[in-house]
Structure 1
Amino acid sequence: MKEPLVDAANYSLAGDGKRLRPIVTWVMGVNQYGLNPSAIVPLLKSLEYMHTASLIFDDLPSQDNASVRRGRPTVHQVYNIAIAELTGLFLTQKAIEEQTELDQFDAKTVLQLIQYSAQITEVMCMGQAMDLDSKGKRLTVEQLNQLCFYKTGIAFEASLIMPAILAKANESEREALKTFARHAGIAFQIKDDLLDVEGDVSLLGKPIGQDAENNNSTFVSILGLDGAKKEMWDHYCLAIEALQEVPRNTAFLKHFMNYIVNRDH
């Protein structure tokens, strides 16, 4: 028998994604916390599995009904809806399995990381449910900020906090990183909203104008183009300010913020 779930999982993972989360985790974990590069490979894989699973669910006909992701047809288009749903679940479990392979760290620390990972997944599900419930409704900027944190900022937070957990960083440092991630995630989503209006389809790897077509409230629809750009730069500044409380070299995270606001896809 063929292995449709493995094939579908590999198809979704091999797309032209940015791999931002494992990249951030690698740089912070290895360069700033001094973690063994080979020791954190399971964590990098788990982050990408979790993120890819969230995209598969997001694209389903019952949710955003997207036909293109990472520059090619979505999983449910290539296979079918049932296989897409099972592949998303399969990848979330593979993520947990990878985290249990962090065998160069003490068991209590790994258990703490797995607990945190489960909480992050719960919040992401809540964020997606909020997003679906908001369709066709006019949201306030505060509601959009909250939604963006649940959908995007929380995943950036995970890529920073997970290596910090393994390195046993103190609580004040983790809180500063969480603040950074919150504003970085909102800035990232605002840029996505801007690209959905002004972006180049060939660079984005997905259609533009989807938000307007789906009647979604966005920073652009609420604030206009200029207002959305100002809001994005406000969150950029707040993210950079939060890094002052991180007792490490934060040059990479500053470059990361510059990438977020200046990217073309």
Structure 2
Amino acid sequence: MRGQINNYLPIAKTSALPVDSIVEGANYSLEGDGKRLRPIMTWIMGVKEFGLAESAIVPLLKSLEYMHTASLIFDDLPSQDNANFRRGNPTLHEVHNVAVAELTGLFLTQKAIEEQTRLNQFDSTVVLELIQYTAKVTADMCKGQVMDLDAKGKQLSLKELNQMCFYKTGIGFEASLVIPSILAKAGDVEVAAWKKFAYHAGIAFQIKDDLLDVEGDQCVIGKPIGNDADHDKSTYVSVLGVEGAKKEMWDHYCIALELLEEISPKNPFLKHFLHYIVNRDH
């Protein structure tokens, strides 16, 4: 599925423009060795859980990865995390410049919305609800990044850290589960259950990222390790220590696994996904 998603993502150049740095920048960022976790989760939910036609949700898969890639472009900017590498390659602002990176990130967020308007096999009212939800999620992700920037040099409480990391990471997982639920017209109780699962899975994912920044292999991760400490960021490792962060990660893993058993999805993918979150090396 990851290979199929990679084939969906490239954006065609506009013939009217001989040089299109924005499209080139977008495709450069999309070509990186991304995990494609969010669109894969959406595909599993849409096709395997709710029985939606794969051809009908292709725009949704593209939309999620466009939005996620845009968030990474913004995160990497010198004004934010000031990262030089992402997915094993130089970051976009290093290859082009900051202005092109900023405009490319904005371009990708708009392409994401454009793709959602192509969900023409679904009722227009449902698609409008989906777009409204996506807009709110995007706004919340921006708030999460601001919280992260404001936290530099500060020691956050565990509660504050959980809130920040949900907005930065967990809400992206939530969207991957909720958006296909909206298209399938799932009930409020079911949607609430998926949101709760995504909250704990997302925090477990972020804690693993924080641990990899301390213990990971730079060649495997595709970006320098120790970046969080260099930027004086408040992370689960800085707040709880390595062993405390590992315990917190396993606590959220167990809660998410218990929630999954209660939800009892038709497909075992999300159970394997939880195992992957805590055992991955990049």
TM-score range with shorter-chain normalisation?
Answer: over 0.9
Q: Within the alignment, does 1:167 sit opposite 2:184 as a pair?
A: yes
CA distance in 2, matches of 1:142, 1:165: 29
CA distance in 1, matches of 2:132, 2:274: 28
CA distance in 2, matches of 1:123, 1:216: 20
Matches within 5 A, 1:244-255: 244-255=261-272
The runs of 4+ residues in structure 1 deviating greater than 3 Å are none
Q: Within the alignment, does 1:230 sit opposite 2:278 as a pair?
A: no
8 A contact 1:32–1:249 mirrored in 2: yes
8 A contact 2:205–2:278 mirrored in 1: yes
CA distance in 2, matches of 1:8, 1:227: 40
Q: Which residue of 1 aligns with 2:223?
A: 206
Deviation string 1:173-216 (CA, Å, 9 cap, x unpaired) is 11010001000110000000100000001110000000110001
What amino acid is aligned across from residue 88 of structure 1 in structure 2?
A: G
Which residues of structure 1 form unaligned runs of 5+? none
**Greater Cα shift, 76-85 or 215-224:** 215-224
8 A contact 2:92–2:101 mirrored in 1: yes
| TM-score, normalised relative to structure 1 | 0.99
Q: Which residue of 2 aligns with 1:147?
A: 164
| TM-score, normalised relative to structure 2 | 0.93
Matches within 5 A, 1:101-140: 101-140=118-157
The offset of 1:247, in angstroms, is: 4.8
8 A contact 1:153–1:182 mirrored in 2: yes
Q: Within the alignment, does 1:193 sit opposite 2:193 as a pair?
A: no
Matches within 5 A, 1:36-51: 36-51=53-68
CA distance in 2, matches of 1:247, 1:186: 21
Deviation string 1:67-93 (CA, Å, 9 cap, x unpaired) is 000100000000000000000000000
What amino acid is aligned across from residue 40 of structure 1 in structure 2?
A: I
**Greater Cα shift, 247-256 or 227-236:** 247-256
Q: Which residue of 2 aligns with 1:184?
A: 201
Aligned length, in residue pairs: 265
Q: Which residue of 1 aligns with 2:45?
A: 28
What amino acid is aligned across from residue 187 of structure 2 in structure 1?
A: N
Provide the secondary structure at the position in 2 that maps to 1:155: helix
